[in-house]
Amino acid sequence: MKRKIKVGNLFIGGGARVSVQSMTNTPTSDSEKTLKQVLELEKAGCDIVRIAVSNDEEAEACKNIIGKTKVALVADIQFDYRMAVKCADIGFDKIRFNPGNIGDESKVKEVVAACKRNRVPIRVGVNGGSLDKNVAAYASGAEALAQSALIHAAILEKYGFYDTVLSVKSSDVRTMVEAYEILDARCDYPLHLGVTESGTKIRGVIKSSIGIGSLLLKGIGDTVRVSLTGDPLREVEAARLILSALNLNGDCVEIVSCPTCSRCNYDMEPIVDELEKKLYGLKKKLKIAVMGCVVNGPGEAADADIALCGGKNGKAALYLKGKVLKTVPVSDAVSEILALAEKMS
Amino acid sequence: MKRKIKVGNLFIGGGARVSVQSMTNTPTSDSEKTLKQVLELEKAGCDIVRIAVSNDEEAEACKNIIGKTKVALVADIQFDYRMAVKCADIGFDKIRFNPGNIGDESKVKEVVAACKRNRVPIRVGVNGGSLDKNVAAYASGAEALAQSALIHAAILEKYGFYDTVLSVKSSDVRTMVEAYEILDARCDYPLHLGVTESGTKIRGVIKSSIGIGSLLLKGIGDTVRVSLTGDPLREVEAARLILSALNLNGDCVEIVSCPTCSRCNYDMEPIVDELEKKLYGLKKKLKIAVMGCVVNGPGEAADADIALCGGKNGKAALYLKGKVLKTVPVSDAVSEILALAEKMS
């Protein structure tokens, strides 16, 4: 079990449910646009939103965002330690900051003091481009990532600071998985999982699913970020589906559907698409199966709360808790399933 | 190391590269449509294509497909053992068939004889809906799936048949992963990995990536099928990207790109999309990084063959093997990168 760390109104680690993170990509100085994106992310099911803060103007703009959302807000600081101090003071819930990048430890001390007085935790986030130089001289790959993160964390420990979350992202899935495994074995800091620079749409979703998913399967990971080029809302959707695939998403609707083959006699894909869309975000623990034919259909239906199993002549069998309820025209399938889902507790 | 099994012109197991499978969803009796889909799948990088064969008419239609494609062809037989015999005899490269479902073992013997005389291997494919009834009485979940597969395989062994590939698909990712782990420990038959009924588009891609990807990460799995509701070409694309993410896809182009944040000053997503599209299928081992800004950009560029790193005023830095080559207008970025990729060996 990892150390339990409070971030805004939620916890990371210590048995808390795995939280979902994303990051704004609007100009931080435009607080109206940024707040709009933060609220959209909140609505999509994001728990923690990170905002890059590079200068005073951007920090000032964030004052218009803090307090207006239920998500926890994290300031991403790259170079200027004064921004870390300022963001802790103005009400950010967490700071992402690598103390080893700052050079002068008196500055680190100032950041730690600001985080302590505001009870703000720090995420140390190492990736291939931000390895500790001493470590890079003798280690490489996963080992170098993990050791770099621990060295950054040790600098914070020197000043009595332990509210630390660690990440060791890599764009290589094998390296990333191995680095988190090393870290998991060597410390009790909660781990923020992610594949960095994972790419656009389908490639990025696949890399993140393998990396984050295989670690979560082993019980490693306390909070996750899916990094995708493009609209951050897709990051949240993908993260929620990763958690859902591993039954870590709390109460939610799971839709299973067969790939269809020559045995399928109806146009199944639009039905599944519409159900996915209309049931997204519904907080009920329901399994819905949409199946093409009677070969695998009844078997899958037996295991689902609601199932549709294609027959001939535009008809399909509707199953409730594994038993045939009635035969319905395929054209009514979506509304029939939604009505059943509505009624179920 | 698993037993090495010949399927058409390729091998499954025994150290052979992991092959990619899909399945047609056209009416099998329409051989023109089905052949067209088989050829599209071949072009997309599919190694093995499965076709459901339920009756004589469908088997006859397949004679117009066999011999016209380089992919290995598998006949999917559900109920009628005579179709298994016929498909082995007419030139299918593999039969998917569960001997335990047939009842009468003299029929199994006939299928085995047909497969032996044609040197055709068999895949035994168990899923939640096709558990062995005796096993289902005392075991459940992953254990029941694995034991069912082994019981089917044992029936074939009784008749001296060992050219068997096993699969134990489940729509639950945890169950699927565990079932394959059990099977991997208990036999030397090569394993065909898949999450069954995994769903539409993004949900299905995510479930398959976690399930197949986490097993491949452990060295488990010899051939893979991503099951997605809809166009099977998307299954092949996803399977190839899973292999690519784990460096199991032979020579191919890997594109990494950052998720962009407020530090990114150019419209990066269309550039990545266009590169993905134009470089799909190129058989060169190249890593291309497309990055938003100078914070993580140069670090990632150091590790890439070609990199683009966004600057200000519509300009970006183009890196070759980690060194800045030149500054280019963002509008020329795609053509500049494609020209470099073309030249590289």
DSSP B194-260: --TTB-BHHHHHHHHHHHHHHHHHTT--SEEE---BS-HHHHHHHHHHHHHHTT-SSS-EEEEE---
Task: Check CB contact of A235 with chain B, cutoff 8 Å.
Answer: yes
| Minimum mean pLDDT range among B88-92, B257-261, B330-334 | B257-261
Q: For B305-309, what is the mean pLDDT?
A: 94
Q: Check if the beta carbon of residue A15 is closer than 8 Å to that of residue A47.
A: no
- Inter-chain CB pairs, A–B, below 8 Å: 243
Whether residues B217 and A174 touch (CB distance < 8 A) is answered with yes
Task: Check CB contact of A168 with chain B, cutoff 8 Å.
Answer: no
Residue B297: predicted pLDDT: 78
Interface test with A, best of B21, B77, B206 (most A CBs within 10 A): B206
Check whether B259 has a pLDDT greater than 90: no
Interval A178-228: pLDDT, tens: 999 999 999 999 999 999 877 778 999 999 999 999 999 999 999 999 999
The packing angle between helices B105-118 and B81-90, to 10°, is 10
Task: Check CB contact of B210 with chain A, cutoff 8 Å.
Answer: yes
Residue A214's SS3 state is: helix
Q: Check if the beta carbon of residue B35 is closer than 8 Å to that of residue B52.
A: no
Please tell me which of the candidates B173, B257, B300 has its beta carbon nearest to residue A229: B257
Question: What tokens does B201 get?
Answer: 């588009």
Whether residues B174 and A217 touch (CB distance < 8 A) is answered with yes
Q: Sketch out chain A's domains with CATH numbers.
A: 5-245 (3.20.20.20), 254-343 (3.30.413.10)
Counting other chains too, the contacts that B159-163 makes at CB distance below 8 Å and 24 or more residues apart are: B159/B108, B159/B109, B159/B112, B160/B112, B160/B116, B161/B112, B161/B115, B161/B116, B161/B122, B162/B3, B163/B5, B163/B6, B163/B115, B163/B119, B163/B120, B163/B121, B163/B122
Residue B248: predicted pLDDT: 94
**H-type alpha helices, A250-296:** 269-279
Residue B303: predicted pLDDT: 82
Residue B251: predicted pLDDT: 82
More confident residue, B13 or A254: B13
Q: Distance between CA B22 and CA B297 in Å, rounded? A: 37
CA angle B215, A141, B218 (to 5 degrees): 10
Question: What tokens does A306 get?
Answer: 């609601």
Check whether B242 has a pLDDT greater than 90: yes
Q: How many angstroms away from the CA of A16 is the closest CA of chain B? A: 20
Mean pLDDT of chain A: 93
Residue A200: predicted pLDDT: 72
Check whether A296 has a pLDDT greater than 80: no
Please tell me which of the candidates B174, B244, B264 has its beta carbon nearest to residue A246: B174
ipTM: 0.91
Q: Check if the beta carbon of residue B212 is closer than 8 Å to that of residue B198.
A: no
How far is it between the farthest Cα atoms of chain A? Answer: 77
CA angle A85, A87, A90 (to 5 degrees): 110
Chain B residues touching residue A171 (CB < 8 angstroms) = 256, 289, 300, 303
Chain B residues touching residue A130 (CB < 8 angstroms) = 296, 299
Q: Check if the beta carbon of residue A78 is closer than 8 Å to that of residue A87.
A: no
Residue B71: predicted pLDDT: 97
Whether residues A217 and B217 touch (CB distance < 8 A) is answered with no
Element at A6 (helix H, strand E): strand A5-7
Chain A residues touching residue B28 (CB < 8 angstroms) = 262
The amino acid occupying position A185 is A
Task: Check CB contact of B205 with chain A, cutoff 8 Å.
Answer: yes
The strand pairing partners of A314, in sequence order, are none
Q: Check if the beta carbon of residue A129 is closer than 8 Å to that of residue A171.
A: no
Please tell me which of the candidates B127, B206, B272 has its beta carbon nearest to residue A200: B272
* CA closest to A225 among chain B residues: B259
Q: How many angstroms away from the CA of A159 is the closest CA of chain B? A: 27
Residue A128: predicted pLDDT: 79
Interval B273-300: pLDDT, tens: 899 889 887 888 899 999 888 777 777 7
Residue whose token pair is 């065909």: B192
Residue A230: predicted pLDDT: 86
Interval A3-45: pLDDT, tens: 999 999 999 999 999 999 999 999 999 999 999 999 999 999 9
Q: A47: which residues sit within 8 A by CB, 6+ positions away?
A: A10, A19, A20, A21, A71, A72, A223
Count the neighbouring beta carbons within 10 Å of the beta carbon of residue B343: 8
DSSP state of A254: E
Task: Check CB contact of A248 with chain B, cutoff 8 Å.
Answer: no
Q: Which is nearest to B228 in space by CA: A257, A267, A259, A292?
A: A259
Interval B182-216: pLDDT, tens: 999 999 999 999 998 777 789 999 999 999 999 99
CA angle A221, A227, A232 (to 5 degrees): 115
Residue A169's SS3 state is: strand
Could you say which residues from 136 to 155 on chain A have a Cβ atom under 8 Å away from some Cβ of chain B?
none
Q: Distance between CA A17 and CA A122 in Å, rounded? A: 19
Task: Check CB contact of B170 with chain A, cutoff 8 Å.
Answer: no
Whether residues A200 and B291 touch (CB distance < 8 A) is answered with no
Buried b (16+ CB within 10 A) or exposed e, A122-150: bbbbbbbbbbbeebeeebeebebbbbbbb
Q: How many angstroms away from the CA of B208 is the closest CA of chain A? A: 9
Please tell me which of the candidates A78, A206, A289 has its beta carbon nearest to residue B205: A206
Question: What tokens does B323 get?
Answer: 């060194």
Q: Check if the beta carbon of residue B253 is closer than 8 Å to that of residue B341.
A: yes
Question: What tokens does B128 get?
Answer: 């939640």
Q: Distance between CA A58 and CA A75 in Å, rounded? A: 10
Question: Given the DSSP bridges, would you call strands A306-310 and A315-320 parallel, antiparallel or unpaired?
Answer: antiparallel
Q: Distance between CA A184 and CA A174 in Å, rounded? A: 15
Whether residues A272 and B302 touch (CB distance < 8 A) is answered with no
Interface test with A, best of B201, B225, B229, B287 (most A CBs within 10 A): B229
Q: How many angstroms away from the CA of B245 is the closest CA of chain A? A: 6
Rg (Cα) of chain A, in Å, rounded? 23
More confident residue, B78 or A294: B78
Q: How many residues does chain A have?
A: 345
Q: Which is nearest to A196 in space by CA: A164, A172, A171?
A: A171
Could you say which residues from 253 to 292 on chain B have a Cβ atom under 8 Å away from some Cβ of chain A?
255-264, 268-269, 272-273, 276, 289-291
**Rounded to 5 degrees, what are φ and ψ at B286?**
-130, 140
Q: Check if the beta carbon of residue A47 is closer than 8 Å to that of residue A19.
A: yes
Check whether B17 has a pLDDT greater than 80: yes
DSSP state of B139: -
Q: Which is nearest to A154 in space by CA: A203, A187, A129?
A: A187
